[in-house]
């Protein structure tokens, strides 16, 4: 009985190695940082509202067996272009956020469709392909924003344009939409501000994902995620379904980026999108998701743990060795490290499953 | 055929929503001016003090020779001015529409109280 319990605990620990590791880091980090509980709760609520949407965008491609969509950066670029346009036209408040989202939709569809087409030609290597694709598209984005805007694409707002007459400035002030959604329904509980409207939007996306899983298309995606060959044999249009999964993810990433930036209030034109993919993926993995399995609960747990570490690590580093920079290095190190660990664990489990099924087959043959 | 119709309808709907968002969210700046002004050879004197409210925003106090800046969104607005005339409090309220293509308008409070038709004008900065 005790052996069985031990085995169950070990199995649980193995399956949840990453979140458990983070729980330990956070448990040590919180007292070292010296932050009050109120401050930490406030920070976590802000970061949950800011990042959850982006992380949720990753779930659909996982469902379709396409792994972690590093191509979400393309959607983020679409969202940023939407924000540049509404800033140029001086569209303020909620209509501004809505219009930026609408502008991002066609861009995300085109970019998502292109990504899906390319990923269909690189089946089994989707993650590395989308990672490199994001780098490639970053170049195209910079070309459009740095040279296209103000020349081919008319930009009339002088505060957006570089002094040379074309190209968008490094920083765009999003004061017109800053925290509009967050402050739409004000709620303060024990001195902690809760962005109710943003959470309502996040809940709507969660409901959409749960509903989507139950639709015919969602079931097709799950079937493809389980086994592409079997799904194809069952008459599912695998390539089209995979493209739809990426398009949906890219659109959601565009929306997520707009919500993220409305909270921040400043658009870093040439950098904001770059790290969004990596941080969102790292957060999802920290929450216990893997390359082929991701749940909504993983999103929220991941955002809480990952961003709690973000908040506490600079201060903990400063108090521990007298340098806040340690925290900065630590969080970048952890972001990359956690993605590596998740990928290694995925490869290890896949290999072990293959070995187990191989030995089971061999045993069965011997028995015959 | 049905599918195409649905797609076209969705596209049209999206365009209509975009237009509605554009018009309702378009930001404008209103300059509230309380200075002596001459319009069409008629002079209007600045008020010593007034309280101005745009739509349901915050009440702003404006003194003689003051110019306040107010950002608004959308095209239809309401201005309420509370001022003293012969020691009695007077309130004047007007609704106005602004052009979507004009970023800045100037409102002359003395002209508004005198009910001159040019109390609101497009602001043209001096070059």
What three-state secondary structure class fits B111? helix
Residue A18 has pLDDT above 90, yes or no: no
* The residue count for chain A: 368
Segment holding B41, helix H or strand E: none
How many Å apart are CA A328 and CA A317, to the nearest integer?
Answer: 9
Please tell me the predicted confidence (pLDDT) of residue A317. Answer: 78
Instruction: Report yes or no on A212 lying in a domain.
Output: yes
Name the residue among B22, B27, B71 with its Cβ closest to that of A99.
B22
* Chain A positions in Cβ-Cβ contact with residue B73 (cut-off 8 Å): 91-93, 95
Instruction: Report yes or no on A89 lying in a domain.
Output: yes
How many Å apart are CA B66 and CA B122, to the nearest integer?
Answer: 18
The pLDDT tens digits of the residues spanning A205-259 come to 999 999 999 999 999 999 999 989 999 999 999 999 999 999 999 999 999 999 9
Contact B18 A102 (CB under 8 A): yes
Please tell me the predicted confidence (pLDDT) of residue A1. Answer: 64
At CB < 8 Å, which residues of chain B contact A?
Answer: 14, 17-18, 20-22, 24-28, 71, 73, 103
Segments making up each domain of chain B, as ranges: 27-122
Name the residue among A92, A103, A105 with its Cβ closest to that of B73.
A92
Find which of B12, B19, B27 to mutate to test the A interface (most A CBs within 10 Å of its CB).
Answer: B27
CA distance B6 to chain A (A): 17
How many Å apart are CA A28 and CA B5, to the nearest integer?
Answer: 60
The pLDDT tens digits of the residues spanning B84-97 come to 888 888 899 999 99
With CA atoms as reference, the chain A residue closest to B22 would be A91
Instruction: Report yes or no on A128 lying in a domain.
Output: yes
Instruction: Report yes or no on A363 lying in a domain.
Output: no
The pLDDT tens digits of the residues spanning B18-74 come to 999 999 999 999 999 999 888 888 888 999 899 999 998 889 999 998 999 999 999
Residue A321 has pLDDT above 90, yes or no: no
Residue A144 has pLDDT above 90, yes or no: yes
CA distance A290 to chain B (A): 36
Where residue A314 falls among pLDDT bands split at 50, 70, 90? confident
CA distance A106 to chain B (A): 11
Instruction: Enumerate helices (H) and strands (E) in chain B, giving the number of each.
Output: 2, 10
* DSSP collapsed to 3 states, chain A: CHHHHHHHHHHHHHHCHHHHHHHHHHHHHHHHHCCCHHHHHHHHHHHHHHHHHHHHCCHHHHHCCCCCCCCHHHHHHHHHHHHHHHHHHCECHHHHHHHHHHHHHHHHHHHHHHHHHHHHCCCCCHHHHHHHHHHHHHHHHHHHHHHHECCCECCCCCCCECCCCCCECCEEECCCCCCCCCCCCCCEECCEECCHHHHHHHHHHHHHHHHHHHCHHHHHHHHHHHCHHHHHHCCCCHHHHHHHHHHHHHHHHHHHHHHHHHHHCEEECCCCCCCHHHHHHHHHHHCCCECCECCHHHHHHHHHHHHHHHHHHHHHHHHHHCCCHHHHHHHHHHHHHHHHHHHHHHHHHHHHHHHHHHHHHHHHHHHC
How many Å apart are CA B49 and CA A347, to the nearest integer?
Answer: 76
Residue A168 has pLDDT above 90, yes or no: yes
Instruction: Report yes or no on A133 lying in a domain.
Output: yes
User: Any idea which of A25-29, A70-74, A190-194, B106-110 has the lowest mean pLDDT?
Assistant: A25-29
Q: Which of A129, A120, A153 is nearest to A74 (CA)?
A: A129
Average pLDDT over residues A346-360: 82
Where residue B127 falls among pLDDT bands split at 50, 70, 90? low
Please tell me the predicted confidence (pLDDT) of residue A199. Answer: 96
Segment holding B93, helix H or strand E: strand B88-97
Backbone angles phi, psi at A183, to 5 degrees: -100, 5
Residue A126 has pLDDT above 70, yes or no: yes
* Chain A positions in Cβ-Cβ contact with residue B21 (cut-off 8 Å): 91, 95-96, 98-99, 102
Contact A92 B71 (CB under 8 A): yes
Asked if residues B62 and B55 have their Cβ atoms less than 8 Å apart, the reply is no
Please tell me the predicted confidence (pLDDT) of residue A268. Answer: 93
* Chain A positions in Cβ-Cβ contact with residue B26 (cut-off 8 Å): 89-92
Please tell me the predicted confidence (pLDDT) of residue A324. Answer: 67
* Chain A positions in Cβ-Cβ contact with residue B27 (cut-off 8 Å): 90-92, 176
Q: Please report, for the domain that includes residue A52, its CATH number.
A: 1.10.3470
Contact B25 A99 (CB under 8 A): yes
Compute the mean pLDDT over every residue in chain A, rounded to the nearest whole number. 90
Segment holding B49, helix H or strand E: strand B49-54
Instruction: Report yes or no on A296 lying in a domain.
Output: yes
ipTM of the complex: 0.86
How many domains, chain A? Answer: 1
Domain hosting residue A276, numbered range: 15-351
What three-state secondary structure class fits B84? strand
CA distance A24 to chain B (A): 47
How many Å apart are CA B99 and CA A356, to the nearest integer?
Answer: 73
Residues in CB range of A195: below 8 A, 6 or more apart: A45, A46, A49, A179, A181, A182, A183, A263
The pLDDT tens digits of the residues spanning A33-88 come to 889 999 999 999 999 999 999 999 999 999 999 988 888 999 999 999 999 999 99
Asked if residues A166 and A151 have their Cβ atoms less than 8 Å apart, the reply is yes
User: Any idea which of A265-274, A339-348, B53-62 has the lowest mean pLDDT?
Assistant: A339-348
Find which of A86, A87, A92 to mutate to test the B interface (most B CBs within 10 Å of its CB).
Answer: A92
Please tell me the predicted confidence (pLDDT) of residue A340. Answer: 81
* Chain A positions in Cβ-Cβ contact with residue B22 (cut-off 8 Å): 89, 91, 95, 99
């Amino acid at each position: 009985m005790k052996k069985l319990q031990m085995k169950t605990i070990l199995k649980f620990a193995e399956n949840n190695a990453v979140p458990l590791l983070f729980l330990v880091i956070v448990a040590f980090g919180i007292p070292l940082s010296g932050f009050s509980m109120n401050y930490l709760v406030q920070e976590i609520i802000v970061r949950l509202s800011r990042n959850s949407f982006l992380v949720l965008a990753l779930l659909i491609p996982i469902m379709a067996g396409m792994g972690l969509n590093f191509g979400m950066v393309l959607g983020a670029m679409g969202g940023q272009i939407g924000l540049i346009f509404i800033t140029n036209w001086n569209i303020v408040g909620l209509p501004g956020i809505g219009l930026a989202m609408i502008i991002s939709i066609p861009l995300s569809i085109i970019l998502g469709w292109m990504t899906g087409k390319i990923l269909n030609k690189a089946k089994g290597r989707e993650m590395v392909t989308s990672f490199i694709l994001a780098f490639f598209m970053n170049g195209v984005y910079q070309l459009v924003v740095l040279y296209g805007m103000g020349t081919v694409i008319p930009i009339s707002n002088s505060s957006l344009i570089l002094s040379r007459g074309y190209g968008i400035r490094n920083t765009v002030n999003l004061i017109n939409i800053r925290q509009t959604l967050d402050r739409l329904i004000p709620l303060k509980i024990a001195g902690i501000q809760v962005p109710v409207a943003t959470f309502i939007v996040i809940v709507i996306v969660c409901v959409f994902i749960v509903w989507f899983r139950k639709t015919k298309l969602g079931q097709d995606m799950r079937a493809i995620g389980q086994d592409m060959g079997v799904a194809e044999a069952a008459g599912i249009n695998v390539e089209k379904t995979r493209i739809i999964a990426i398009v949906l993810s890219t659109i959601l990433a565009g929306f997520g980026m707009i919500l993220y930036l409305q909270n921040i209030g400043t658009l870093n034109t040439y950098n904001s999108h770059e790290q969004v993919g990596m941080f969102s993926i790292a957060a999802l993995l920290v929450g216990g998701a893997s390359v082929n399995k991701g749940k909504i609960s993983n999103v929220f747990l991941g955002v809480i743990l990952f961003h709690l570490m973000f908040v506490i690590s600079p201060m903990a580093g400063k108090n521990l060795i007298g340098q806040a920079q340690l925290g900065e290095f630590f969080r970048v190190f952890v972001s990359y490290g956690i993605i590596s660990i998740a990928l290694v664990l995925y490869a290890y489990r896949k290999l072990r499953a293959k070995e187990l099924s191989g030995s089971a087959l061999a045993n069965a043959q011997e028995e015959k | 055929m049905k599918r195409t119709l649905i797609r076209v309808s969705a596209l049209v709907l999206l365009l209509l929503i975009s237009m509605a968002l554009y018009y309702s969210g378009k930001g404008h700046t209103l300059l509230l001016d309380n200075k002596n002004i001459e319009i069409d050879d008629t002079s209007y004197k600045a008020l010593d003090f007034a309280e101005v409210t745009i739509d349901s925003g915050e009440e702003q106090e404006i003194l003689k020779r003051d110019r306040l800046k107010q950002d608004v969104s959308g095209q239809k607005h309401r201005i309420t001015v509370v001022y003293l005339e012969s020691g009695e409090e007077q309130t004047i309220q007007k609704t106005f529409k602004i052009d979507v293509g004009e970023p800045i308008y100037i409102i002359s409070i003395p002209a508004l109280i005198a009910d001159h038709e040019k109390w609101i004008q497009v602001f043209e900065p001096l070059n």
